[in-house]
Structure 1
Amino acid sequence: MKNHRNNDLVDRRAAAAEAKATLVNVYRATMENLRPEQIARQSERLAAAAAREQRREEKEALKAAERARAEAAALALQAEIEAAKHAESEARALAEKDRIARVIEDEAARKAKRDQRYAARKARQS
């Protein structure tokens, strides 16, 4: 038996493999040439990402400071309200004690006048 080779097919396969190898070699060479550019672009991207992260952290710090300031202001306002309520209740209690004292004084004065009238009547009758 003779070895019949289809040279057309073998040639096409060899040409395709050679073209593929050439493309791979060209790609590798291009990648090697682009490598410094890629490194530069990558470093730019990393710098931009670091700057973004720093800006985000600064924003968060500002927001946290604003929240803390707002909470402090709210606490101060709450303390003022509590102090005002306490002062009002103290004033109300003082007014109530004063009113009670006046009522007791008026009652004592009324009783003193009554006792005086009673004593005057007894003095007239004797």
Structure 2
Amino acid sequence: MAIYKEKNFAERRQTAMDAKKALLEKVKAKMPAADDPAAVARREERKAIAEARAQREAERLRLKKEKAEQDAREKAEREAAAEAAAKAEAEAKENAEKDMVSRLLADEAERKAKRDARYAARKARQR
């Protein structure tokens, strides 16, 4: 019967390194070469996809910027229209106040004229 001999640390480490090397060689053997036509085609395809994605993103950003500019213009137009409406309303209110003041002055002048006519008629009766 054989006697079991335990491996020391150096032997275990060497076995692990050999296993890793074997695994790496196995993976490298499965990998295609850099100049492989299929690999070149995949790289070109990925490059084309990346370029198309970049173009779509640039277009999306351009459209977003245009929309923001259009929204800013529309907001400015709405504000200008609101300001013009407020100004027109203020002018109409001011004109209405002026008309009311002028009517009040006209009514007061009319009442004064009637009062003066009554006063003159009373003076004329007394003479």
Moved more, 39-48 or 96-105: 39-48
What code does the residue aligned with 2:110 have? A
Rounded to whole Å, the distance in 2 between the matches of 1:103 and 1:33 is 99
1:103-122: CA deviation from partner (whole Å, max 9, x where unpaired): 01110110011011101100
Gaps of 5+ in 1: 1-16
Task: Provide TM-score, normalisation by structure 1.
Answer: 0.73
Moved over 3 A (4+): 27-34
The count of aligned residue pairs is 107
1:9-49: CA deviation from partner (whole Å, max 9, x where unpaired): xxxxxxxx9xx79x95xx47964375332222111111100
1:61–1:105 CA distance, 2 compared to 1 (3 A): same
* Identity, % of aligned positions: 46
Moved more, 42-51 or 69-78: 69-78
Residue 82 (structure 1) shift: 0.7
Task: Provide TM-score, normalisation by structure 2.
Answer: 0.72
**Cα RMSD for the two superposed structures:** 2.6
Rounded to whole Å, the distance in 2 between the matches of 1:89 and 1:62 is 40
Q: Secondary structure at the match of 1:32?
A: coil
| Match of residue 14 from structure 2 | none
**5 Å matches for 1:90-101?**
90-101=91-102
| Match of residue 81 from structure 2 | 80
**5 Å matches for 1:1-126?**
27=28, 31-32=32-33, 35-126=36-127
In terms of fraction of residues, the more helix-rich structure is 1
Higher relative contact order (CA 8 A, sep 6+): 2
Gaps of 5+ in 2: 1-17
Rounded to whole Å, the distance in 2 between the matches of 1:30 and 1:96 is 91
